[in-house]
Structure 1
């Protein structure tokens, strides 16, 4: 009987708990996948630009993007894109292609798309940047700073 109880506990620990843990994370996707998804079902979209060296990006990923309220709201009402602002990838949106023109010119080369969507007049791109799009993929608003879980939740309302 003891062996049976132990076996049941082990099965629950290794099967059920990881399944529940997966439900508590944001399902990040790509711009190309969102384009396809928008053709089937219209939803707002969040585009989160980060860099590998950005301390505030890491802090947001460990707090705001792990908050259960934020996760539930994003899963329900948004497509979510996470994009490294220094990626070397060519990104296709409709008929337009975006590249990282600064790839071999700069130590921290910012991708053309990040500069286009994540910069302000007379200010360089600085991560983290979050861009909110409506159902037709038009920019509604942008955030250029760290957002706490509470601030991010209010921002996506």
Structure 2
């Protein structure tokens, strides 16, 4: 995969403070039947867990008004296989791109920018390509692997999750991986 695509933009995420957005609560039929659901964390909680047990980080960047974000919440993120895979291989974080709460990373505070109508951290995570929903993948050192824009069904996101979750991105390009799977 193109090295420029994997900018170490989020090295700063190692020392996270100040993020308090509450994770979403799943409401699907799968969740009600006792199937495994994604264990959503705040970015603070993920950073704290990284100290004891490093894992990759999966970030769902969403907005409250985004219909496709809501569809992913109700279908993709409630798929039991997707939830089980994310819980095993990642710390899952939800981040509202329009959050007003400041986030301090390594001494720099990211805030909501009213002119841009987005949180500065969302702009950094999405590398300025504001598209919702988007998912962001970080490695075990909280360094950027890749932002991935757009709605994804369970089958599509499962491929991407395993591409990064099993370090296939270190062995081959996405195009090669996609041909094999």
Identify whether the pair has TM-score above 0.5, normalized to the shorter chain: yes
| Aligned-residue offset at 1:141 | 1.5
Q: Within 5 Å, which residues of 2 pair with 1:1-157?
A: 21=34, 24-102=36-114, 105=115, 109-120=117-128, 123=129, 125-157=130-162
Which structure is larger by alpha-carbon Rg, 1 or 2? 1
- For structure 1, the 5+ residue unaligned runs are 1-17
Give the number of the structure whose residues are more often helix, by fraction: 1
Give, in whole Å, the separation in 2 of the partners of 1:95 and 1:35: 15
Secondary structure of 1:156's partner?
helix
Secondary structure of 2:113's partner?
coil
| Aligned-residue offset at 1:32 | 1.1
Give, in whole Å, the separation in 2 of the partners of 1:139 and 1:87: 21
| Aligned-residue offset at 1:118 | 1.1
- For structure 2, the 5+ residue unaligned runs are 1-30, 163-181
Secondary structure of 1:92's partner?
strand
Give the ranges of 4+ consecutive aligned residues of structure 1 lying more than 6 Å apart after TM superposition: none
Task: Please say if residues 29 and 79 of structure 1, whose CA atoms lie closer than 8 Å, have aligned partners that are also in contact.
Answer: yes
TM-score by length of structure 1 reads 0.78
Give, in whole Å, the separation in 1 of the partners of 2:150 and 2:38: 20
